[in-house]
Amino acid sequence: MFLAAAKLTVILGCWGVLLSIVVGLFCAVVRFYRVPLVRWLVGAYIELARNTPLMVQLFFLYFGLPRLGLVLEGETCAIVGLTFLGGAYLAEAFRGGLLAVGRDQIEAGLSIGLNRLQLLRYVIVPQALAVSLPAISATVIFLLKETSVFSIVALPDLMYVAKDLLKEGNSAETNLLLVISYLAVILPVSLFFGWLERRLRFAGFGS
């Protein structure tokens, strides 16, 4: 039961994190380049997402939207909710990295004939990612831990299974398995980001 629940948690968590990265990078670039009107909408989205709990967002998606005629599956609600929350946090992490790129780097790219898209792809984003990697790492781990609230949309994730087993009185074994399961999911991610930070520091990025 825990293995099946862990598999579901990992799948939903990975989709949520990947989509959060896409959304976050897009929002960060929009705010970095100060795109008219869109940057205000992005700013409003970031404030809304960062100042409301994931549980409230999931409640709205799963129980509120059906009243408006839109019914989403539990898995879809979980991914959309995690993306909505994660995109806002990662947008700020990416924006901090973008602002840390030196003006001389941008001017050097322009001087060799790079257009705005090439400058973003080859000069700005790689350096920004290296600088913001610690914040990205912390956010990804935070999002994976937030998957523990997916059970409120009737998904048989780790917390859902643990609650069922706790009702049967298997408290010691259940709590131990729950800790081990989350550790097995999150610890490799933490170790990977630690390794990546050391590699980038060794290569001279983000220093």
Write the pLDDT tens digit of every residue in 60-87.
999 999 999 999 999 999 999 999 999 9
Confidence of residue 111 (pLDDT cuts 50, 70, 90): confident
pLDDT at 205: 58
Other CB atoms within 10 A of residue 192 CB: 12
Q: Are 32 and 95 in contact (CB under 8 A)?
A: yes
pLDDT, residue 204, reads 60
Instruction: Provide the residue type at 6 as one letter.
Output: A
**How confident is the model at residue 64, as a pLDDT?**
94
The structural domains of the chain, with segments of one domain joined by +, span 2-203
Domain 2-203 indexed as CATH 3.90.580.10: no
Global pTM value? 0.88
Cα–Cα distance list, 73 to 32, 36, 66, 78 (Å): 35, 35, 11, 9
Instruction: Measure the CA–CA gap between 107 and 104, rounded to whole angstroms.
Output: 5
pLDDT of amino acid 119: 86
More confident residue, 28 or 120: 28
- Taking 90 as the threshold, does the pLDDT of residue 44 lie above it? yes
Across 98-111, average pLDDT: 85
Q: Looking at the predicted structure, is the pLDDT value of residue 206 above 60?
A: no
Higher pLDDT, 60 or 131: 60
Is the model more confident about 102 or about 46? 46
168-186 residue pLDDT tens: 777 888 889 899 999 999 9
Range in 12-16, 36-40, 172-176 with the lowest mean pLDDT: 172-176
